[in-house]
Amino acid sequence: MTKIAFYAPVKPPDHPIPSGDRLIAQNTLQALSLAGFETEIASRHIAYSKRPGLEYLQARRDDALAEADRLVAQWRNAPPELFLTYHPYCKAPDWIGPTVSEQLGLPYVTMEAAHTGQGFENGGDVWRNWREEAHKGFRKANLHLCLKPSDKAYLLDKLGPNTPVSDFPIFIDRLVQDLPPPPQVLPQREESSPWLVTAAMMRPGKKTRNFQLLAEALLPLQDIAWTLTIIGDGPQRADIEKLFARFDARRIWFAGELDHPSVLASFKTSDVFVWPGWKEPIGMVYLEAQMMGLPVAAFCDMGVPLVVNDGISGLLAKPGDTAELGSAIRRLLIDKDLRTKMSASAKHHVEQDHSINRAADELDRILTSVIKSHQQTKKRDDR
């Protein structure tokens, strides 16, 4: 069985804090297993930094290189056949994968190598040194698997037109079969009142801004019946509760942080998933909602249209246009036939275009080809 070393520099796939990064890492490990690969989490070293200072960069790099030395010693006599790194970028460069691959003669592949648009205040770039470190690692890859067109364009622009890149579908694990009942924190739903649901961590910055946009979109809709369940928790919860204090308290239910099966169970008993998705890079939660049969209302921003089929599995509004987003939500609330049609289309969309089985087939084909090509090159070089 072909052995793959896996590393996620932002956070390991078994990290206790939930996030889209962690979910994609977990799904990637599952897809690799379905493809017939033996996988090993190479390291749980976290390269990610919230601060751009050189002292943080040096500390992360030193620790990463020490990890790389440990792995080289550990695998010297029985190395894996490929090193795969998920989501290296300028706030989380990969020093481990390129170093280990170079010293052990392994092919090196990235998935979702990316960049951040942050840090360009006052005409400068506070993350410049980190970007340069990330680019050094990018240049050593045998292949980059790109989940988003913007990432592909970025790599080709920064690394050159001959950079080895390949489009790869955003994907999600198969349906959970035995879901628990909806959490008891939620009230008994009334069939006459459509149920909206959203789920997100309550953090400052982008997440809080999305909650603000959602509240603005819902404010004009108080002339019709609906109830909103808000799943999630975090340091900004008090501020987010204030955003929704303008609504009748019977409309808004804060469920708090739920485990993953309970989140899916809440989705399954709801009617529409609503989350603006302002500056959302991918939005795995949209795939989860559609997987459970929910049509989506969101902005057509960044990664959202990559996972939501506008007009088929959901309705997407112009980025930042809360009036248009509110109109999309209103349409889904008042038109039960449209919700029913989009519910079926949402499930089909995920199964057809974003299933883990499709991803497993693609990983088998692509990574096997990379390994064979690398082995052939080594044989030629050894002659």
Name the class of domain 195-353: alpha beta
Task: Retrieve residue 202's tokens.
Answer: 């309550």
Instruction: Annotate 217-283 with DSSP letters as a single string.
Output: HHGGGTTS--EEEEE---TTHHHHHHHTTTS-TTTEEEEE---HHHHHHHHHT-SEEE---TT-SS-
What does the alpha-carbon distance between residue 167 and residue 151 come to, in Å, rounded to a whole number? 10
pLDDT reported for residue 191: 64
What does the alpha-carbon distance between residue 24 and residue 44 come to, in Å, rounded to a whole number? 16
Where are the domain boundaries for CATH 3.40.50.2000 in the chain? Answer: 3-173+355-382, 195-353
| Interior angle at CA 369, CA 133 and CA 85, nearest 5 | 30
One digit per residue, the tens of pLDDT, for the chain of length 383 reads: 899 999 999 999 999 988 888 989 999 999 999 999 999 999 999 999 999 999 999 999 999 999 999 999 999 999 999 999 999 999 999 999 999 999 999 999 999 999 887 777 777 789 999 999 999 999 999 999 999 999 999 999 999 999 999 999 899 986 555 677 766 655 665 666 899 999 999 999 999 999 999 999 999 999 999 999 999 999 999 999 999 999 999 999 999 999 888 999 999 999 999 999 999 988 899 999 999 999 999 999 999 999 999 999 999 999 999 999 999 999 999 999 999 999 999 999 999 999 999 999 999 999 999 999 999 988 887 76
Name the class of domain 3-173+355-382: alpha beta
Dihedral class, residue 256 (left if φ above 0, else alpha if ψ from -120 to 50, else beta) = left
What does the alpha-carbon distance between residue 336 and residue 197 come to, in Å, rounded to a whole number? 16
pTM of the model: 0.85
pLDDT reported for residue 184: 61
